[in-house]
Each structure stands twice: as structure tokens, then as C-alpha cells.
Amino acid sequence: MTVVPYKDDAAGKKSQVAQMFNSIAGKYDFLNHFLSAGTDIYWRRKAVNQLKELRPTRILDIATGTADFAIESLRLSPETQVTGVDISEGMLEVGRRKLVDKGLSHRIQLELGDSESLPFPDNHFDAVTASFGVRNFENLKQGLAEMQRVLRPGAKW
């Protein structure tokens, strides 16, 4: 299933989503917190709590954006390492600055990447998260298959 609900059918959904997020990257965190009345912060805490029992040491955060979920995930354990991938270099750049400011670059790695073609080996991560990113997958079936592929058996997503 391929979804292209945007104005420019020729560009493809991924390209249009990346362009959109690149253009709002500097304002994204403020808009997200303001427009959700802080619910996004509560939601991230609640979602991370779902992973507590697993105590994952390697987490993949798909569509990491400005890395808020990746940062929240670090409270699970001092050993937790997070890899965040996103198709928007602008969002990743905001996230990288945030990691440097918070002294977290040694625990979170941010990479430009496509959820439908992840550059990681099979069975590599203890948990995979996607926050709000699934809505932006161009091919949902392929994106979910890739998440399953990189997740170790018995892990959580």
C-alpha cells in the first residue's frame, strides 16, 4: 500500500514529508508542546514506562525528529543506548544540538534514514519505537516489516 496524500503526487510522500519537517524543524518542539498543551510530554513518559520491565539496552527510535522520545528513553537504565533515525535532516540537526546541550551525545546517535530500508542488522535492537512517525510512512507494510526485522526475538515494539 503506497499513500501519497499530498499536493505534489510526483514527489512522493517521503520527499514531501522530509521537506515539510525540514521547513518547520526550528519551530517543531515549541509547536508540538503548545498545540498539544503538553500532552506530548505526558504521552512520551507513558510510552517509555511501557518499556520499563524490558530494561532495553539498545533502542531504535524511528522518525525520531528532534530526539525527544530518544532522550526520554534514557531514563530506563544507565546502560540504555538509543539510535534515532529520521528522513528530515533539519529535525535531526535540531536534535543533535539538543543532545550536545544536554551532554547526551554519547548515549544517543542520530542518523538520516528511511524507515522502509533500515541500515541495521537483523535482530539488533531490544526495543523499537515510532512515536508519531508511522503516520508518515509511505509504505506502512514495509516500514513495519523493517521494524520487526531489526528487533531481536522476544523484544518489544
One of 3.40.50.150, 3.40.228.10, 3.50.50.60, 2.40.10.340 is the CATH number of 13-156, namely 3.40.50.150
The pLDDT of residue 102:
97
Q: How far apart are CA 16 and CA 137, in angstroms?
A: 11
Mean pLDDT of the chain: 89
Residues 6 or more apart in contact with residue 143 via CB below 8 angstroms? 62, 115, 116, 134, 137
Could you read off the pLDDT of 109-126 as tens digits, one per residue?
999 999 999 999 999 999
CB count in 10 Å sphere of residue 53: 9
Task: Please state the pTM of the whole predicted model.
Answer: 0.86
CB count in 10 Å sphere of residue 63: 25
- Mean of the pLDDT values across residues 133-147? 89
The pLDDT of residue 21:
86
Residue 156 banded pLDDT, cuts 50, 70, 90 = low
Each domain of the chain, given as residue ranges in start order, spans 13-156
Q: Is residue 84 within 8 Å of 99, Cβ to Cβ?
A: no
pLDDT at 77 over 90: yes
Residues 6 or more apart in contact with residue 16 via CB below 8 angstroms? 4, 6, 7, 8
- Mean of the pLDDT values across residues 142-151? 95
- For residue 30, report the phi and psi dihedrals to the nearest 5 degrees: -60, -50
Could you read off the pLDDT of 4-59 as tens digits, one per residue?
445 555 568 888 888 888 888 889 889 888 988 988 899 999 999 999 988 899 99
Q: How far apart are CA 67 and CA 72, in angstroms?
A: 9
pLDDT at 131 over 90: no
